[in-house]
Structure 1
Amino acid sequence: MATLLFWIAVFGASEILAQTDFSLQAGATGKDVVDVAINRIDRSNIFQNDKNILRRIACVETQYGANQANGNLGGIWQVSETDFNRTKEAERYPHLIDMHNDIWKMWGVRWKTLGYSELLKPFYSGLAARLLLSLTEVGSRRPIPGIIVEQANYWKNFYNPAGSLQAFEAAATSETCETNCPGRLDICIALDASNSVVATDFNISRYFVHQLLTTFETGASRAALVVYSNRLHVTFALDTNMTWAQKKQAVLDPVQTPHIQHNTHTAEAIKYCIDMFNSTPAVVEGIPKINVILTDGKSNDPGPLKVPMVAPLAEAAGITSFAVGIGSGAVYSELLTIANNNRDRVHDLSNFAELAQFFQQLNQETCEIPQTPRVNDTTTDSLIKGERRYFKYTLGVEGLQITVSTTAGQTAVYYSYTETTPSAALYDGKIEGSGVIPYRLPTTTPAPPPTESARGDLFRTGNSTNPELEVYLSVTGLSDRNNYTIEARIFVPGNGASIVNNLHRNAAFVALFVCLANLIIRPLSA
Structure 2
Amino acid sequence: MCPFPWILMLVSLFALCYKGIVAAAVVGPTGTLHRGVVPGRPVDLTLQEEARGTAVVMACMAKIHDSKVFESHRLLFPMLRRMARAATEDGREDRTYSPEYHGGIWQVDYSDFRDTLDTRTYPQLLPIWDSIRAQFGIHKVSIRWKDLRKPLYSSLVAGMKILTVPHEIPPSIPAQAAFWKNYCNSALDKSPNDYVTAVEEVAGCQATSLDLVFALDGSASVGDNNFQLSKDFINTIIQSFTIGPDLTRVGVVQYSFSVNLELELKDHLSAAPLIQAVEEIEYDEGLFTHTGEALQYITTHSFAVENGAREVRKGVPKVSILLTDGESGDYHDVTVWSQRAQEAGITVFPVGVTNNVDQQELETMAGHAGKVYRVGWFRDLEKILTDMEESLCRAVAAVPVGSPVSADLDRDAVRHLSFIVPDVGMTFKLTLNRGQVAMYGSSVVTTPNEAIYNFTLTSGDLFLPPVSVPSQDARTTLYVSVYGLSDDSSFTLRTTEGNTTTTPPSQQQTAAHGHSSTASSFKLDPKSGPLFWCLFVYLASTTGISAYLI
By the TM > 0.5 criterion, same fold? Answer: yes
**Cα offset, 1:252, TM superposition:** 1.8
2:283 maps to which of 237, 259, 263: 259
Q: Judge conservation of contact 1:180–1:360 (CA < 8 Å) in 2.
A: no
Greater mean alpha carbon deviation, residues 319-328 or residues 197-206? 197-206
Write the distance in 2 (CA, Å) between the matches of 1:508 and 1:376: 22
1:378 aligns with 2:404: yes
Deviations 1:232-275 (CA, angstroms, capped at 9, x unpaired):
3322123437655432220122xxx1123344443332222122
User: SS at the partner of 2:449?
Assistant: coil
Q: Runs of 5+ in structure 1 lacking a partner?
A: 445-461
User: SS at the partner of 1:47?
Assistant: coil
User: TM-score normalized by structure 1?
Assistant: 0.78
Partner in structure 1 of residue 371 of structure 2: 345
Q: Judge conservation of contact 1:209–1:359 (CA < 8 Å) in 2.
A: no
How many residues were matched structurally? 486
**Cα offset, 1:339, TM superposition:** 1.2
AA matched with 1:50 = H
1:19 maps to which of 32, 42, 64: 42
Deviations 1:412-438 (CA, angstroms, capped at 9, x unpaired):
111123332211110111112113133
Partner in structure 2 of residue 298 of structure 1: 326
1:171–1:432 distance in 2 versus 1, CA, 3 Å? closer
1:355 maps to which of 373, 381, 386: 381
Write the distance in 2 (CA, Å) between the matches of 1:334 and 1:375: 31
Q: Judge conservation of contact 1:378–1:486 (CA < 8 Å) in 2.
A: yes
1:229–1:66 distance in 2 versus 1, CA, 3 Å? farther
AA matched with 2:47 = L
User: TM-score normalized by structure 2?
Assistant: 0.75
User: SS at the partner of 1:77?
Assistant: coil
Deviations 1:7-57 (CA, angstroms, capped at 9, x unpaired):
98899x99x942101111222223332232233234334434332222222
1:110 aligns with 2:139: yes
1:336 aligns with 2:343: no
1:470-481 correspondence runs (5 A):
470-481=477-488
1:18–1:522 distance in 2 versus 1, CA, 3 Å? farther
1:73–1:436 distance in 2 versus 1, CA, 3 Å? same
1:13-412 correspondence runs (5 A):
17-51=40-74, 52-67=78-93, 69=95, 71=98, 72-136=101-165, 140=166, 142-161=167-186, 164-172=191-199, 174=200, 176-181=201-206, 183-197=208-222, 199-214=224-239, 215-218=241-244, 219-240=246-267, 243-253=270-280, 257-263=281-287, 264-277=289-302, 279-280=304-305, 283-285=310-312, 287-295=316-324, 297-301=325-329, 307-340=334-367, 342=368, 345-352=371-378, 354-356=380-382, 358-396=384-422, 399-412=425-438
Larger radius of gyration: 2
Q: Judge conservation of contact 1:146–1:349 (CA < 8 Å) in 2.
A: no
AA matched with 1:247 = L
1:332–1:216 distance in 2 versus 1, CA, 3 Å? farther
User: SS at the partner of 1:58?
Assistant: helix
1:32–1:151 distance in 2 versus 1, CA, 3 Å? same
Q: Runs of 5+ in structure 2 lacking a partner?
A: 1-20, 523-527, 543-550
User: SS at the partner of 1:322?
Assistant: strand
AA matched with 1:260 = D
User: SS at the partner of 1:345?
Assistant: coil
RMSD: 4.1
1:399–1:369 distance in 2 versus 1, CA, 3 Å? same
Superposition misfits of 4+ residues, deviation over 6 angstroms:
7-11, 507-510, 513-525
1:80–1:94 distance in 2 versus 1, CA, 3 Å? same
Deviations 1:351-374 (CA, angstroms, capped at 9, x unpaired):
545534745543442343333434
Q: Judge conservation of contact 1:9–1:503 (CA < 8 Å) in 2.
A: no
1:363–1:384 distance in 2 versus 1, CA, 3 Å? farther
1:492 aligns with 2:521: no
User: SS at the partner of 1:323?
Assistant: strand
1:343–1:420 distance in 2 versus 1, CA, 3 Å? closer
Write the distance in 2 (CA, Å) between the matches of 1:298 and 1:515: 72
1:405–1:285 distance in 2 versus 1, CA, 3 Å? same
AA matched with 2:486 = S
Write the distance in 1 (CA, Å) between the matches of 2:529 and 2:286: 72
